[in-house]
Amino acid sequence: MNEKLALSDDILMKIEKPARYIGNEVNAVVKDLNNIDVRFCMCFPDVYEIGMSHLGIQILYGMLNSWDDVWCERVYSPWVDLDAIMRKENIPLFALESQDPVKDFDFLGITIQYEMCYTNILQVLDLAKIPLLAKERGDDCPIVIGGGPCTYNPEPIADFFDIFYIGEGETQYRPLIDLYKKCREEKAGREEFLRRAAKLPGMYVPRFYETTYHEDGTIASFRPTEEGISATIRKELVTDMTDSFYPMKPVVPYIKVTQDRVVLEIQRGCIRGCRFCQAGQLYRPVRERDVEVLKKYAMEMLKNTGHEEISLSSLSSSDYSKLPELIDFLMEECNKRHINISLPSLRIDAFSLDVMSKVQDVKKSSLTFAPEAGSQRLRDVINKGLTEEVILHGSALAFEGGWTRVKLYFMLGHPTETEEDIRGIAELSNKIAATFFDTVPKEKRVNGRVQIVTSTSFFVPKPFTPFQWAPQCTKEEFVEKAYLTRKAISEQLNQKSIKYNWHEADVSVLEGVLARGDRRLSQVLLYVYNKGCFYDAWSEYFHNDVWMEAFAACGLDPDFYSHRERPLDEILPWDFLDCGVSRSFLEREWQKAKNETTSPNCKQACQGCGAARFGCGICIEPRD
Amino acid sequence: MKLRIKFKKYGPVRFIGHLDVMRFFQKANRRAELDVAYTGGFSPHQIMSFAAPLGVGLTSNGEYMDLEVYSLTSCEDVKTRLNAVSVPGIEITSVKILPDKAGNAMASVAAAGYTVTFREGRGPHFDLAPAVERFLKKDEILITKETKKGSREINLKEGIYELKAVDGNSLYLLVDASSAGNIKPMQVVEALFAENGEPLPENALMVNREETYLRSDALELLPLDAIGYDSEEAYKAASGDAE
């Protein structure tokens, strides 16, 4: 046992949930420092319960620790109570397993899953006593490497990272660590290691690139500053999901975390091509894992963790070709073991309703549809292949099966959205309620009613989507749209059956700015962090006024980044990255969106997006 | 068949709260592949019960959990299997089969023994041994107990079964731990300090629960697993006798 704790008993007795900071969880890996060469600290820059729920870190943690010469540990953002104590008492941020300072490590890997965690990255670096700016770090600092979806536009945080790993983590960590060991042997120094790392596939080392700007603020040029550094960086990708590493012994936390279950990643990528969705483009092509391997993994992971629930993970589980076989197997095995099955992202049809009625309590559970837009016109614009007919038919089936609760997810602010489209949200909600009353005879209605929960979020255009050029709504426009939605719902016949939830608008606007921002935004991040902002993803700690003050102080206009339609010939901050999907495909899709024309999904017909160059997954399979 | 499982809790896991220890065992029982009995319904639960919740930060040599199983290989095997899938600092020390008539762990708790050690620089400035002697001579020791509904006065004296200075820096206490009259070691030490005109410094105590006791039919305090059987044979023989 590692008896050592970085925090004193006095502190641990004083703070909320001390179990966040003591390590020693089931399946946590402890190695002997004398037997390893490289210390890697993996960070999720949010609170423990969120970070511990992330599959990507469990994969990389397992993979790095499967190598004898590497010891990978974990660190998360200390919660605000401990943060204050650590600053006051000058306690350096520590990794959970060894409780050693993060600064003593060779690598600090940070997964960057959402824009609102950017200030928490600064918090982690600051508490670790690592200079925030990469160029100020010396040989005594770990190499700070970022990964995850936000690195597909790393520019707003480029100044804080030594390396960004672009793409899926399974492929290049071994070569990177070997290079690190070689450079250390040769005493090559930090700068030289980074120079050589920049030549590995998928590695973006921001210090070797520079941006110049036009007078209007748009980018004039972006290029490497040294000979031999590549002008473009292509994403890394696992070509064979079945052969790739998957963690059989994920760490099991003591305290209840968001995802307290075995997570079985059945496939990566999505065939659908919804035009607002970044993940649907970044993880192309869709690649399935072999069903026999998945069955074996499920049993082994349940045995090794003792979790009482298993969940399938993918962007669209219904599209997995062997789903019925896998679910039959899981239902049989899990039933014997009193294990729950959770099935997110299923399309509602006869098959999924049958499965759901077997694995959950129909009376207590609810159905979820994500039409994302209220009218068929707008669903065609966003290429969401879900029709009103399908939704109403699925609802009717569900109501016959005993369900009485339906959740609906929409986004407000898609390109070309009109008042008519917004009213469609209310009308669709109303039609679903009406379907209940048409389908279920009075005497069979549980409590006599149906509950429709309609939620809207605000659309944030993301890099590498067909909407990367689209203007985002202003906060005022968003609020107006939410108001219109609420009003339209209140005018419906069945309005009493519909509950409406909406998000805060100012966070969505800021997400939009950071998602499509450039290197100059690092000034804004430093400004707000120095003013005490972090945990911006938590509404109680989000201070929009400080952010607005920061933009003004830095002479930057948030509308420039979000509220402007960008011309096709403008250099976008992320243009130097190659996510596999070609620029011309995205341009075609943007044009089709404007023409209200849909595109078939990858199983129906190849759209020539460019991902076929990876030669794997759906791109090399026969089509329907 | 109901098992009474005794375990220790020490090291960093002392900062895991009671509910999380319960969750830990639910998962450990699955990892150990024990033939645990479940409740019915859509979210079945393992049939288990814990004796006395241990506060965050406290260590223990005498924690107990009752677990209903359909079958078992042997008590020793259950212990070995659970220890194989446990974490450092949670260690199973014995597994026994309960007589059918035994009450559940929580309802059975009558008393608990604790060793209390003062952290460096936070001990008493008075001599412990004579102070304890004077303290115990009092007819009543009244303290105010804060409850959810307000505060009420209780007499600690009734619940202190044993109190002695182990050395100049630590005490042994045997106190009421029943749900009706549970006394926390800190309440006793606080009262002792107050009696000697000293405030108890914050987080002054390291507390180890030594044992949890039930009260036998003969009104003796016995360790909670004193009523269990070591093997299925012994259990069956005893059940047969009873019939």
CB contact under 8 A, A24 and B119: no
The arithmetic mean of pLDDT across residues A578-604, rounded, is 97
pLDDT value at A1 more than 70: no
CA–CA distance, A260 with A253 (Å, rounded to integer): 8
**CB-nearest partner of B87 from A10, A24, A256:** A24
Residue of A nearest to B88 (CA): A1
Q: How many CB pairs under 8 A join A and B?
A: 85
My answer on whether omega of the bond before A285 falls inside 30° of 0, hence cis, is: yes
| A18 contacts chain B (CB < 8 A) | yes
Tokens of A92: 């350096």
| A22 contacts chain B (CB < 8 A) | yes
Neighbours of A563 (CB within 10 A): 17
Q: Looking at beta carbons, which residues of chain A come within 8 Å of B42? A: 340, 360-361, 364
CB contact under 8 A, B11 and A3: yes
Concatenated DSSP letters of A535-553: -TTSGGG--HHHHHHHHHH
CB contact under 8 A, B31 and A303: yes
CA–CA distance, B25 with A615 (Å, rounded to integer): 47
- Within 13 Å and on the Cβ side, how many CA atoms surround B138? 15
Q: Pick the closest to residue B7 from B66, B70, B47, B77 (CA basis).
A: B66
CA–CA distance, A556 with A73 (Å, rounded to integer): 38
For chain B, report the end-to-end CA distance as a whole number of angstroms.
17
Residue of B nearest to A337 (CA): B30
| B11 contacts chain A (CB < 8 A) | yes
Q: Looking at beta carbons, which residues of chain B come within 8 Å of A12? A: 15, 57
**Residue carrying structure tokens 């199973």:** B92
Coil, strand or helix at A282: helix
* Axis crossing angle, helix A505-515 with helix A544-553, rounded to the nearest 10: 40
Mean pLDDT (chain A, rounded): 95
Residue A518 sits at the vertex; the CA angle it makes with A512 and A521, to the nearest 5 degrees, is: 80
| Residues whose CB is less than 8 angstroms from the CB of residue A484 and which lie 6 or more positions away in sequence, other chains included | A419, A422, A423
Q: Looking at beta carbons, which residues of chain A come within 8 Å of B89? A: 1, 24
Query: Between residues A354 and A68, which one has the greater pLDDT?
Result: A68
CB contact under 8 A, A26 and B85: yes
| A307 contacts chain B (CB < 8 A) | yes
Indicate which of B10, B13, B15 best probes the interface with A, i.e. most A CBs within 10 Å of its own CB.
B15
Q: Looking at beta carbons, which residues of chain A come within 8 Å of B26? A: 306, 308
CA–CA distance, A375 with A387 (Å, rounded to integer): 9
Quote the minimal CA–CA distance from B203 to chain A in Å.
7
Q: Which amino acid is at A207?
A: R
Read off the pLDDT of residues A13-37 as tens digits, 9 standing for 90 and up: 999 999 999 999 999 999 999 999 9
CB contact under 8 A, B15 and A18: yes
pLDDT of residue A3: 78
CB contact under 8 A, B27 and A304: no
| Residues whose CB is less than 8 angstroms from the CB of residue A411 and which lie 6 or more positions away in sequence, other chains included | A276, A372, A373, A456, A457, A458, A459
CA–CA distance, A433 with A439 (Å, rounded to integer): 10
Read off the pLDDT of residues B14-68 as tens digits, 9 standing for 90 and up: 999 999 999 999 999 999 999 999 998 777 899 999 999 999 999 999 999 999 9
| A256 contacts chain B (CB < 8 A) | yes
CB contact under 8 A, A254 and B203: no
* Axis crossing angle, helix A173-185 with helix A55-65, rounded to the nearest 10: 50
Tokens of A427: 């009308």
| Structure ipTM over 0.85, yes or no | yes
- Between strands B48-50 and B59-71, the pairing is antiparallel
pLDDT of residue B116: 97
Residue A447 sits at the vertex; the CA angle it makes with A445 and A453, to the nearest 5 degrees, is: 90
Q: Looking at beta carbons, which residues of chain A come within 8 Å of B88? A: 1-2, 24
Q: What percent of chain B has pLDDT over 90?
A: 80
Residue of B nearest to A256 (CA): B20
The arithmetic mean of pLDDT across residues A503-517, rounded, is 96
Coil, strand or helix at B117: strand
CB contact under 8 A, B31 and A305: yes
Read off the pLDDT of residues A374-433 as tens digits, 9 standing for 90 and up: 999 999 999 998 899 999 999 999 999 889 999 999 999 999 999 999 999 999 999 999
Sign of CA dihedral A436, A437, A442, A447: positive
The arithmetic mean of pLDDT across residues A48-66, rounded, is 97
| A363 contacts chain B (CB < 8 A) | no
Residue of B nearest to A22 (CA): B12
Question: Greatest CA span in chain B, whole angstroms?
Answer: 60
With contact defined as beta carbons under 8 Å apart, do A383 and A274 qualify? Answer: yes
Beta bridge partners of A262: A310
- H-helix or E-strand spanning residue A180: helix A173-185
Residue of A nearest to B22 (CA): A254
Beta bridge partners of A405: A451
Q: Which B residues 50-79 touch A at CB under 8 Å? A: 56-57
Burial B19-32 (b: 16+ CB within 10 A, else e): ebbebbbbbbbbbb
pLDDT value at A216 more than 80: yes
With contact defined as beta carbons under 8 Å apart, do A484 and A89 qualify? Answer: no
CB contact under 8 A, B23 and A254: yes
Residue of B nearest to A257 (CA): B20
**CB-nearest partner of B43 from A13, A23, A340:** A340
With contact defined as beta carbons under 8 Å apart, do A485 and A500 qualify? Answer: yes
Quote the minimal CA–CA distance from B57 to chain A in Å.
7
**Residue carrying structure tokens 């360790």:** B223
3-state SS of chain B: helix, strand, coil percent to 5?
Answer: 30, 35, 35
pLDDT of residue A348: 84
| B28 contacts chain A (CB < 8 A) | yes
CB contact under 8 A, B30 and A254: no
Read off the pLDDT of residues A429-488 as tens digits, 9 standing for 90 and up: 999 999 999 998 888 886 778 999 999 999 999 999 999 999 999 999 999 999 999 999
Of A307-311, A521-525, B104-108, the least confident: B104-108
pLDDT value at A187 more than 70: yes
pLDDT of residue A2: 65
pLDDT of residue B243: 47
CA–CA distance, A125 with A119 (Å, rounded to integer): 10
| Residues whose CB is less than 8 angstroms from the CB of residue A120 and which lie 6 or more positions away in sequence, other chains included | A45, A46, A77, A534, A535, A536, A537
Q: Pick the closest to residue A119 from A573, A551, A542, A558 (CA basis).
A: A542
pLDDT value at B90 more than 80: yes
- H-helix or E-strand spanning residue A453: strand A451-458
pLDDT of residue A362: 74
CB contact under 8 A, B30 and A302: yes
pLDDT of residue A60: 98
Read off the pLDDT of residues A97-153 as tens digits, 9 standing for 90 and up: 999 999 999 999 999 999 999 999 999 999 999 999 999 999 999 999 999 999 999
pLDDT value at A269 more than 90: yes
Which stretches of A186-334 are assigned E, i.e. beta strand? 203-204, 209-213, 219-224, 233-234, 262-265, 267-268, 287-288, 309-313
With contact defined as beta carbons under 8 Å apart, do A180 and A194 qualify? Answer: no
| Residue A471 DSSP one-character state | P
Read off the pLDDT of residues A514-563 as tens digits, 9 standing for 90 and up: 999 999 999 999 999 999 999 999 999 999 999 999 999 999 999 999 99
CB contact under 8 A, A19 and B17: yes
Q: Which amino acid is at A125?
A: L
Read off the pLDDT of residues B149-202 as tens digits, 9 standing for 90 and up: 788 888 999 999 999 999 889 999 999 999 888 999 999 999 999 999 999 999
pLDDT of residue A624: 60
| Residues whose CB is less than 8 angstroms from the CB of residue A49 and which lie 6 or more positions away in sequence, other chains included | A20, A253, A255, A256, A257, A258
Residue B52 sits at the vertex; the CA angle it makes with A12 and B203, to the nearest 5 degrees, is: 30
Q: Looking at beta carbons, which residues of chain B come within 8 Å of A337? A: 30
| Residues whose CB is less than 8 angstroms from the CB of residue A40 and which lie 6 or more positions away in sequence, other chains included | A64, A70, A71, A72, A73, A105, A106, A107, A109, A177
User: pTM of the full predicted structure?
Assistant: 0.95
Q: Looking at beta carbons, which residues of chain A come within 8 Å of B38? A: 338
| B44 contacts chain A (CB < 8 A) | yes
- Within 13 Å and on the Cβ side, how many CA atoms surround A36? 20
CA–CA distance, A266 with A153 (Å, rounded to integer): 27
